[in-house]
């Protein structure tokens, strides 16, 4: 049985590894599980075949035999629960690592995504810049809280877990903005994640998709 | 060992059951587990003792012996994983129910919370009404997708699960707005959730806190 995931045929991030299939790729690399990728166009994402797998018309999805899953948080948790390498053995530590997966996707990511949504959907409004100040204040509040919790530790709760994988993936969406630079320990945390060989294999795999589709990166 | 959760000392929703402790109460009632509640003030939520339990200064938290957890999604999943009644026995169906927990808190809830955040933090801005149209368009898109998936089924995937508990809890935040009325099957879905005896016990318990603090509801 082969694990198959879906990813954007043409990722809006131009191969920067910010699309959510990257998180699943990274988890599968940490778990040393091979996988196949089915690329989907934006048009196909709105069609019944894809909506049957992903009711909100997004990527990634995950298929393994009879099981079909959606939501990157759920997929990463599924991988972490079934293969070694992404959750601690101690049952309390496992529960806490799962809490960090949820914190990443439901407390941290929404304020960060809001900044991207504002730019794409409201960027031409006269009030865009004014509103951006509200959005960035909310991001700073969450980054400050996360920074305070992380302190000088390497990972959020002892060893590297699926919670760190998901949190670092979310924080990466801010790379290149000045927001992250205000929190040197979060920058170092992200850098530690990116140094992991599993991250790098996943990154190269998703970048290869972009380069192939865009004609060798010449576009 | 007694399970202890935290809740707002004075819930901003005035006992309407929209604070996130309600989800944990509901899950514990479905699982037939007794619990205690520690009420926290807004000031205490920003202090080190609470931040040690909840790094983002929110409620609820969950304590059971040596285990301390945060994030309502993670807490509901923990309860569902440890006690009967909230997840199917079939392992694929369990994984799909967990995907619905994630869909509730990371795909559906952010667009719904955005409407509340806009009102509280940006409601006095000259562009508030104009922006609200963007926010409500995003909510309708997600509600339409969820409505299409639910169809005429009672629950999202077969029997009632923790995924329904979390999704209904999220949708309840829209009650009283006209947005939900556009989707009769979602209204019926919410009503089915509210008819569950476990929901009703949890609702009465959180309402009793509000009534006690507000002086018998006379305020």
pLDDT of residue B219: 44
CA-based nearest residue to A5, from A31, A32, A23, A30: A23
A51 contact residues in B (CB cutoff 8 A): 145, 148-149
Contact B171, B103 (CB under 8 A): no
CA-based nearest residue to A163, from A109, A99, A111: A99
Percentage of residues of chain A with pLDDT beyond 90: 91
ipTM for this model: 0.96
- Give A136-169 pLDDT, tens digit per residue: 999 999 999 999 999 999 999 999 999 999 999 9
B70 contact residues in A (CB cutoff 8 A): 99, 103
CA pseudo-torsion sign A60, A193, A101, B140: negative
B117 contact residues in A (CB cutoff 8 A): 138
Interface test with chain A among B45, B52, B74, B139, by most A beta carbons within 10 Å: B74
Return d(Cα A218, Cα A15) in angstroms, integer: 13
Q: With 80 as the cut, is the pLDDT of residue B218 above it?
A: no
CATH 1.20.1050.10, chain B: domain bounds? 91-196
Work out the minimum CA distance from B103 to partner chain A, whole angstroms: 6
User: With bands split at pLDDT 50, 70 and 90, how would you rate the model's confidence at A217?
Assistant: very low
Return d(Cα A105, Cα A169) in angstroms, integer: 10
Work out the minimum CA distance from B208 to partner chain A, whole angstroms: 28
Return d(Cα A136, Cα B56) in angstroms, integer: 16
CA pseudo-torsion sign B128, B134, B140, B143: negative
pLDDT of residue A66: 96
- Partners of residue A63 on adjacent β-strands: A4, A68
Record: contact A95-B74, CB cut-off 8 A: yes
pLDDT of residue A185: 98
Average pLDDT of span B43-70: 97
A99 contact residues in B (CB cutoff 8 A): 69-71, 74-75
Contact B106, B172 (CB under 8 A): no
Per-residue tokens: B4? 């202890």
Q: Which helix (H) or strand (E) holds A5?
A: strand A3-8
B194-200 contact pairs (CB < 8 A, 24+): B194/B168, B196/B30, B196/B160, B197/B29, B198/B26, B198/B29, B198/B30, B199/B26, B199/B29
Q: Counting beta carbons within 10 angstroms of the beta carbon of residue A112, is it exposed (0 to 12), middle (13 to 18) or buried (19 or more)?
A: buried
Per-residue tokens: B28? 């514990």
Average pLDDT of span B180-186: 96
Work out the minimum CA distance from B219 to partner chain A, whole angstroms: 32
Contact B15, B22 (CB under 8 A): no
Q: With 80 as the cut, is the pLDDT of residue B156 above it?
A: yes
* Beta strand A35-40 pairing with B67-70: unpaired
B92 contact residues in A (CB cutoff 8 A): 66-67
Q: What is the mean pLDDT of chain B?
A: 95
CATH 3.40.30.10, chain B: domain bounds? 3-85+198-213
Return d(Cα B170, Cα B181) in angstroms, integer: 15
- Give A169-193 pLDDT, tens digit per residue: 999 999 988 999 999 999 999 999 9
Per-residue tokens: B74? 């993670």
Contact A53, A72 (CB under 8 A): no
**DSSP-based three-state secondary structure for A38:** strand
Domain B3-85+198-213: which CATH number of 3.40.30.10, 1.20.1250.20, 3.40.630.30, 3.40.50.1950: 3.40.30.10
CA-based nearest residue to B127, from A136, A117, A133, A131: A131
CA-based nearest residue to A167, from A147, A152, A197, A140: A147
pLDDT of residue A1: 75
Domain A91-196: which CATH number of 1.10.10.10, 3.40.50.620, 1.20.1050.10, 3.10.330.20: 1.20.1050.10
Least confident of A149-163, B39-53, B118-132: B118-132
**DSSP-based three-state secondary structure for B60:** coil
Peptide bond into A60 cis (omega under 30): yes
Record: contact B71-A99, CB cut-off 8 A: yes
Q: What is the number of alpha carbons within 13 Å of residue A108 lying toward its C-beta?
A: 25
In chain B, the residue whose alpha carbon lies closest to the alpha carbon of A112 is B110
Average pLDDT of span B139-145: 98
């Amino acid at each position: 049985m082969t694990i198959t995931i879906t990813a954007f045929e043409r990722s809006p991030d131009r191969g920067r590894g910010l699309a959510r299939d990257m998180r699943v790729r990274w988890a599968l690399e940490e778990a040393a599980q091979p996988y196949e990728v089915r690329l989907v166009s934006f048009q196909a994402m709105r069609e019944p075949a894809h909506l049957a797998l992903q009711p909100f018309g997004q990527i990634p999805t995950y298929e393994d035999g009879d099981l079909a899953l959606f939501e990157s948080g759920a997929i990463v948790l599924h991988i972490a629960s079934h293969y070694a390498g992404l959750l601690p053995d101690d049952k309390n530590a496992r529960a806490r690592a799962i809490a960090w997966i949820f914190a990443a996707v439901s407390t941290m990511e929404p304020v960060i995504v809001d900044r991207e949504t504002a730019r794409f959907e409201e960027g031409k409004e006269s009030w865009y810049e004014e509103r951006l100040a509200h959005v960035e204040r909310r991001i700073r509040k969450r980054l400050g809280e996360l920074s305070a919790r992380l302190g000088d530790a390497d990972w959020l709760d002892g060893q590297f877990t699926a919670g760190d994988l998901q949190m670092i993936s979310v924080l990466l969406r801010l790379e290149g903005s000045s927001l992250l630079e205000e929190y040197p320990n979060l920058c170092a945390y992200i850098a530690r994640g990116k140094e992991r060989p599993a991250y790098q294999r996943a990154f190269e795999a998703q970048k290869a998709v972009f380069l192939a589709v865009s004609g060798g990166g010449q576009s």
